[in-house]
Amino acid sequence: MNLTSTKVLCVIACLLVNVAVCKKSEEGNKPKWAKKKLQDYNDVDLERLLDQWEEDEEPLPDDELPEHLRKPEPMDLSNLDTSDPEKLLKLTKKGKTLMMFVTVDGKADREETERITTLWQGSLFNNHIQCDRFLVDDSRAIFMFKDGSQAWDAKDFLVEQEGCKEVSIDNKIYEGRYKPEKKKKAKVEL
């Protein structure tokens, strides 16, 4: 026998052993939920099947886990400046997803809001601030940051832009620099 036929026989022998070991379980040994037709599976059965499927898998590394399952990064509290609450918030939001609401000046319609917020998103991207933008109203958009600490840098940029009425982060509102002044009601004297 030559070397090639020996390799072929080895492969065939491995396949036969594999087939012999991986036989189908007997009908009497299956649990009741496994005897159902696939169309009759409910959510509990599918969850059980998923758990059984993932039973022998290795756990995912930390960077591949969903955000809510990741271990938080340790914060260095030794040189923390507690006099500036924004720096403290920026530090606590590092590595976490954060949404910022931006309101465009009231004169803008939906197309104008789309154009302005796209321009702002591009400017932020050019400044290495990664964010996604979603319009939620004719004059309102959400900027979503994968790294929440970048939101405060973006806020500093956005409030200086003409056409930005206000920016809201964590329910705190920051007024735009060029926000139109509120018209004061004239007092009527009787």
Work out the pLDDT band at 19, boundaries 50, 70, 90.
low
pLDDT at 15: 64
pLDDT for residue 135 is more than 50: yes
For residue 24, CA distances in Å to 47, 112, 123 come to 22, 63, 60
Q: 128: phi > 0 → left, psi -120 to 50 → alpha, else beta; which?
A: left
Instruction: For the chain, list the domains and their CATH numbers.
Output: 91-175 (3.30.70.260)
- Residue 126 is predicted with a pLDDT of 95
Q: Tell if the pTM clears 0.75, that is, is over it.
A: no
What is the rounded average pLDDT for all residues in the chain? 81
pLDDT tens for each residue of 64-101: 878 777 777 777 777 777 787 788 888 888 888 999 99
Q: Are 141 and 102 in contact (CB under 8 A)?
A: yes
What per-residue confidence (pLDDT) applies to 154? 94
Residue with tokens 């994968």: 146
Report CA-CA distances (Å) from 168 to 24, 106, 163, 180. Answer: 59, 16, 15, 17
Q: What is the pLDDT of residues 27-47, one digit of tens each?
A: 567 777 667 787 888 888 888
Contacts made by residues 106-115, CB under 8 angstroms, sequence distance 24+: 106/139, 106/165, 106/180, 108/138, 108/139, 108/163, 109/138, 110/135, 110/138, 113/138, 113/139, 113/140, 113/141
pLDDT at 183: 42
Closest by CA position to 108, among listed 132, 141, 145:
141
Question: Averaged over 151-166, what is the pLDDT?
Answer: 93
In whole angstroms, give the CA distance from residue 104 to residue 159: 10
